[in-house]
Amino acid sequence: MFVLFTDFGLHGPYTGQMKAVLHQMTPGRAIIDLFTDAPAGDPRASAYLLAAYAAWFPIETVFLCVVDPGVGGTRPPLVLVADGKWFVGPGNGLFELVQRRAVEAQRWDISWQPERLSASFHGRDLFAPVAAALARGEQPPGRLRHDDSDRFPDWPDDLAEIVYVDHYGNAMTGLRAAVLAPDATLAVGGRALPRARTFGDQPPGTALWYENSNGLVEIAVNQGRADHALGLTIGAPVTIS
């Protein structure tokens, strides 16, 4: 299957145009919209989301990933295979955590170019055709990459920041809950938050943190919006005590 991970949103033509390429080149393949609202123009925050959510998909899944504020610039276009899953997209750190957490990984520079390559939409013109070729069993169209200039070793293994705010106002962090002590308290937005198993373990209107269904530390308000109550936006820091 194909999995789309982008910051395009569902308004406008961008997601639809990429899907059209996939359908044309690989008719009948399932296409999953995992995130269409990844942190806009923010590969760093997006990298922690991608690593957490990609873990739930089977090997041979092809992830078409576009969070690419440097499109048309010097960042390299890449193919990554990590523990049997394929990732296609910009070499701007978006795949950093996926690669770091993989047991086995290889990267290729994409050297192939289509007849028409727009400067501002590599998702449609470059990455989608390469993803389709991989799904058909073709080899990555380029050379193995041995240069680590696209890597970000200074990024932490777990990011103590808000990386996503969902439809309900719950705020995900880049922290895996497994790395925190069971009785850890989080401080965010000037408030100390206790850990709870789920929302209803605290009274209505109470802020809390919990391990979400994908293993990330998430902040919520029972029957409320954590983003409004705590003033949370992407990049807001979280302190662990």
Domains annotated for the chain, with CATH where assigned, are: 2-135 (3.40.50.10790), 159-240 (2.40.30.90)
The answer to whether the CB of 9 falls within 8 A of the CB of 29 is no
CA distance 164 to 34: 13
Average pLDDT over residues 17-21: 97
Average pLDDT over residues 73-99: 97
As given in the structure block, the two tokens for residue 160 are 């103590």
CA distance 217 to 178: 9
CA distance 40 to 13: 16
Tell me: pLDDT of 108 over 90: yes
Angle at 49 between CA 122 and CA 202, to 5 degrees: 150
pLDDT bucket at 189, cuts 50 / 70 / 90: confident
CA distance 139 to 16: 26
Bridge partners of 164?
172
Tell me: pLDDT of 27 over 90: yes
pTM: 0.96
CA distance 51 to 83: 12
CA distance 31 to 100: 26
Cβ neighbours, 10 Å, residue 48: 27
- Predicted confidence at residue 10, as pLDDT, reads 87
